[in-house]
Structure 1
């Protein structure tokens, strides 16, 4: 059945976070995990990098709160702090998790100071001691100039609601699993921080207190709201993310410690997926390797907690689809580690075999990529013309795109090409055939005109969950 009166100039589907439905266990929080909090340091750092224009801090899922931020702080977008971020920090890559590293390595306002003296690696290497020190001086100035205390006081109601609603997720996390799986006893405790201004972004942060205590943070974004616009946290979406972020605090330092062993193979693995990784803010083999192990560990958590097999399979495919082509094999490798704990009591002790695993995968990556590509849906025919045709009849009203297999039929993702909106066809209706194997566009074409569009895998997925590779379509109509 065709969709009626759908007027589109371009069709976009933005997938922020997409998780499978997970089976749950009734885990009880241990004393190591305090109840979730909203932390003014996280909110403050998030909003100043929002003012600086960082895309990762400019999501607007929690629009009620974002509007309050804009109303209070818009007049301060030219503050020396914001200028400093744009002129001195961004060039060093201070963005994403580096921002949260700073937030959780300083004391709470109103007078913010380093918890541990800044060095070239504290709060994080991308800052550097000199720039971190200057930033903190300007941040304290901004806190006063922008009257941040009034803003935080005015939003206390939102913070309290968020904390209360997050408890449904908090109650499900099994922290004891981390000790069992990684084989190390945390030196301190875990902390969940709810980032109301962080949108769909989540971060794992670890810091050491002056007393040597280790604090592992999962900074959780807020990307869902109820009909009244207030934040709501569902187990299906937020628990996997929380599991993921806590994993980072056990994995990242091991990958860095063993990077000489991992680098040759993982650099080789990075090459074919570099573009896909960069789109996810993983610009190097090191980031990719951290994420590979963390994502496989999430699936291991699911297996150990008896999540339903369909959810485990779907999560595995999701990670493969995001470019971590070796996820299934890596989960199997983590299972082997877990079966040999007498020999390998900790994941750290298993890092040499893990490096050997990546070497084996790297030697076989072309075959692995080819096997996965076989499962991806592909457009095999366009009617009534061929892709690239230079003599298309401009009176055509219907274009059919036939895939090699049925799709899920859940949405459309067609982007503009290099020539932009000017070359995108005027689309009035769009729908799938009943068998979900043909996409039908109703169009109005003009004579003597170049057209192009790009089908993407954001929505076009096989029924098993694999997305299509980007597929450009171009043609020209007759005069």
Structure 2
């Protein structure tokens, strides 16, 4: 009799582990209370996925009132997903993980930082060996201890709320989002265009859908081959031009930001350019000069690519829009990028050309000083 029970239990576990699985599109990642949540994924030049740990994070952000999370007017699903979150999870808005998130949020733990720190844990929220959490993320959270505590409380929240069951109930929704993004990516060919423009390929490109996000965020994690795994956490714009420029923009950060950091001493010599736009930049979450520099450059690259693949009107629309938001150096940078585009035999990669962009800031700085 005991053997029969054991065999029956094993059979049940096996069946549970197969719930909702589709070959080539899903992988088992999350386990909670005997129910299996899965990562919905389509692979390719750019991997596209909905990740349980990111959806779990968004639920906590929703409950904490994070301004980087939408509660209505989603691009897809006509708001029912956010409404389902409200109905299912609202009674858990006083949980320890929500309170801790609110505390960290007051310190600056919002926008790109929360999804980025989720790259340093596995799918069961255990720390990944050999990956150190960057100091900038620790600073945004207050300290590293807060992030470690957050992981622990998030795991407890997942189990208490039976998050995996909620996730599985919405697998059709997630699968639809993944298919839509993959179709858009394949149609635009934007990853190949990014690789061509910057002149070299990174280890991997990963689009993780955040349907509740107000925008997009870039992150990168070192891989074993000396390159990086690039991540774009992003909402899905309906407009093809907006989708294209956001992809080029977010993945562009992983190319541009390290170059700015490498040349930061030289860049800081021209920080007088920040003075007239400092408040406007801070209001848009770019409160430091180097962040402002990065934004000007990645936006300019995105708009040059828009020019090539969507035409002059599309490019000028975004340039004018950003200029109205006080990105006042974009015209000078986009003009300089033409030199890069016309001399790729001399500038094999964007890294080779970056010093020429520094010259733009130098010239503008000297002109401002009179």
Bigger drift between 92-101 and 115-124 goes to 115-124
Report what 1:45 is aligned to.
Answer: 57
**Alpha-carbon displacement from aligned partner over 1:301-344 (angstroms, at most 9, x marks no partner):** 12333x32222222221121121111111011111123333443
Residue 86 to residue 30, structure 1, CA distance change in 2 (3 Å): closer
* CA distance in 2 between partners of 1:145 and 1:315 (Å): 45
Contact (CA 8 Å) 1:203, 1:219: kept in 2 or not? Answer: yes
Residue 211 to residue 137, structure 1, CA distance change in 2 (3 Å): farther
Residue 246 to residue 120, structure 1, CA distance change in 2 (3 Å): closer
* CA distance in 2 between partners of 1:120 and 1:331 (Å): 34
Contact (CA 8 Å) 1:273, 1:323: kept in 2 or not? Answer: yes
Report what 2:181 is aligned to.
Answer: 166
| Residues 69-84 of structure 1 aligned to structure 2 (within 5 Å) | 69-84=85-100
The alignment partner of 2:45 has SS state of coil
Q: Does 1:236 align with 2:241?
A: yes
Contact (CA 8 Å) 2:236, 2:243: kept in 1 or not? Answer: no
The alpha-carbon deviation at position 184 of structure 1 amounts to 2.5
* CA distance in 2 between partners of 1:137 and 1:270 (Å): 40
| Residues 82-97 of structure 1 aligned to structure 2 (within 5 Å) | 82-87=98-103, 89-97=104-112
The alignment partner of 1:215 has SS state of strand
The alignment partner of 2:137 has SS state of coil
Bigger drift between 166-175 and 137-146 goes to 166-175
Contact (CA 8 Å) 1:118, 1:132: kept in 2 or not? Answer: no
Report what 2:289 is aligned to.
Answer: 285
Residue 258 to residue 123, structure 1, CA distance change in 2 (3 Å): closer
Report what 2:218 is aligned to.
Answer: 204
The alignment partner of 1:207 has SS state of strand
Residue 163 to residue 30, structure 1, CA distance change in 2 (3 Å): closer
Report what 1:113 is aligned to.
Answer: 126
- Which consecutive unaligned segments of at least 5 residues does structure 2 have? 1-41
* CA distance in 2 between partners of 1:330 and 1:139 (Å): 43
Residue 50 to residue 30, structure 1, CA distance change in 2 (3 Å): closer
* CA distance in 1 between partners of 2:275 and 2:73 (Å): 33
* CA distance in 1 between partners of 2:242 and 2:359 (Å): 34
Contact (CA 8 Å) 1:204, 1:219: kept in 2 or not? Answer: yes
Residue 30 to residue 222, structure 1, CA distance change in 2 (3 Å): closer
The alignment partner of 1:37 has SS state of strand
- State the TM-score, normalized to the length of structure 2: 0.80
| Residues 30-69 of structure 1 aligned to structure 2 (within 5 Å) | 31-34=44-47, 36-62=48-74, 63-69=79-85
The alignment partner of 1:119 has SS state of coil
Q: Does 1:275 align with 2:289?
A: no
Residue 308 to residue 338, structure 1, CA distance change in 2 (3 Å): closer
Q: Does 1:130 align with 2:135?
A: no
The alpha-carbon deviation at position 296 of structure 1 amounts to 0.3
Contact (CA 8 Å) 2:120, 2:132: kept in 1 or not? Answer: no
**Alpha-carbon displacement from aligned partner over 1:105-157 (angstroms, at most 9, x marks no partner):** 3212xx21123445351793434432221111111111111211111011112
- State the TM-score, normalized to the length of structure 1: 0.62
Contact (CA 8 Å) 2:256, 2:294: kept in 1 or not? Answer: yes
Bigger drift between 133-142 and 172-181 goes to 172-181
Q: Does 1:151 align with 2:128?
A: no
The alpha-carbon deviation at position 69 of structure 1 amounts to 0.8
- Which consecutive unaligned segments of at least 5 residues does structure 1 have? 1-28, 224-232, 368-479
- Number of aligned residues: 322
Structure having the higher Rg: 1
Report what 1:401 is aligned to.
Answer: none
Residue 287 to residue 181, structure 1, CA distance change in 2 (3 Å): same
Q: Does 1:348 align with 2:351?
A: yes
**Alpha-carbon displacement from aligned partner over 1:348-394 (angstroms, at most 9, x marks no partner):** 22232221210111233489xxxxxxxxxxxxxxxxxxxxxxxxxxx
* CA distance in 1 between partners of 2:226 and 2:136 (Å): 15
The alpha-carbon deviation at position 166 of structure 1 amounts to 2.5
The alignment partner of 2:207 has SS state of strand
Report what 2:260 is aligned to.
Answer: 255
Residue 347 to residue 153, structure 1, CA distance change in 2 (3 Å): same
Report what 2:235 is aligned to.
Answer: 221
For the aligned residues, what is the CA RMSD? 2.4
